[in-house]
């Protein structure tokens, strides 16, 4: 069934673009896929299995706060699949928690941003402000939300290069030189706290060689 919907989308799309692990976020004009469908337009597909489409068919691939839900081997395999299905010159954009930023929760003195993030994490899981502590926020990043593996920028760059991509570069949230990938992040709106999103999130883009 997912193969049929992939094929139908690719036959109709002027600029094919793949959104992996879309959750509640539906990008217009994109093929939005997830393990469960939050909307009838979402194609149900397990991203730990091969993407049911030919090579070199998508102009762009985007994933936001999804890669960390996979084990490292499954994440690497997914990025290899993304490389396979991207057109030469196509671009991938990955938004995921930044382990280096999260490690700043363990620094003393705590920065204003880290303190605010700690308080927001406590509130999000129903803890009173008096219990808020950066160690709680740090643990939640690893063990809450179904997370399986967290990356830092260095590792994500290395994995992308190993999977065949070139020119990995860090971008600001919402910022891209590629208009197809510009202002795609929605995680801040989903969690209802853009400051939390900006604290924890890194965005890396890379290109499939032409």
- pLDDT tens digits along 147-196: 999 999 999 999 999 999 999 999 999 999 999 999 999 999 999 999 99
As a whole number, mean pLDDT of residues 102-117 equals: 93
Q: Which CATH number fits domain 2-97+151-188+202-207: 2.60.40.10, 3.40.50.620, 3.40.50.10860, 3.40.50.150?
A: 3.40.50.150
CA distances from 53 to 5, 29, 86 (A): 10, 17, 11
As a whole number, mean pLDDT of residues 18-39 equals: 96
Sign of the CA dihedral running 132, 136, 140, 143: negative
Torsion of CA 23, 28, 33, 35, to 10 degrees: 30
- The average confidence (pLDDT) of the chain is 95
> Where does the pLDDT of residue 129 fall: very low under 50, low under 70, confident under 90, or very high at 90 and above?
confident
Query: Nearest CA to 201 among 89, 131, 102?
Result: 102
What DSSP letter does each residue of 146-179 carry, written as one string?
A: T----B-HHHHHHHHHHTT-EEEEEE-TT--SST
* DSSP letter assigned to residue 68: G
> Where does the pLDDT of residue 125 fall: very low under 50, low under 70, confident under 90, or very high at 90 and above?
confident
> Where in the chain do CATH 3.40.50.150 domains reside?
2-97+151-188+202-207
Is pLDDT of 93 > 80? yes
Is pLDDT of 132 > 80? yes
């Amino acid at each position: 069934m997912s193969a049929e919907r992939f094929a139908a989308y690719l036959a109709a799309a002027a600029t094919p673009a793949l959104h992996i692990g879309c959750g509640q976020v539906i990008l217009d004009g994109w093929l939005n896929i997830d393990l469960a469908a939050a909307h009838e337009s979402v194609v149900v597909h397990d991203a730990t299995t091969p993407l049911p489409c030919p090579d070199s068919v998508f102009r762009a691939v985007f994933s936001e706060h999804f890669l960390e839900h996979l084990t490292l081997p499954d994440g690497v395999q997914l990025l290899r699949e993304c490389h396979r299905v991207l057109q030469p010159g196509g671009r991938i954009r990955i938004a995921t928690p930044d382990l280096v930023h999260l490690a700043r929760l363990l620094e003393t003195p705590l920065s204003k941003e880290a303190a605010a993030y700690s308080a927001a994490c406590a509130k999000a899981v129903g803890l009173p402000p008096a219990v808020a502590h950066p160690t709680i926020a740090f643990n939640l990043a690893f063990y809450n939300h179904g997370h399986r593996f967290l990356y830092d920028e260095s590792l994500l760059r290395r994995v992308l290069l190993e999977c065949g991509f070139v020119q990995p570069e860090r971008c600001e949230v919402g910022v891209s030189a590629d208009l197809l990938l510009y202002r795609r992040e929605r995680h801040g709106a989903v969690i209802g706290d853009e400051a939390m999103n900006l604290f924890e999130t890194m965005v890396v883009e890379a290109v499939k060689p032409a």
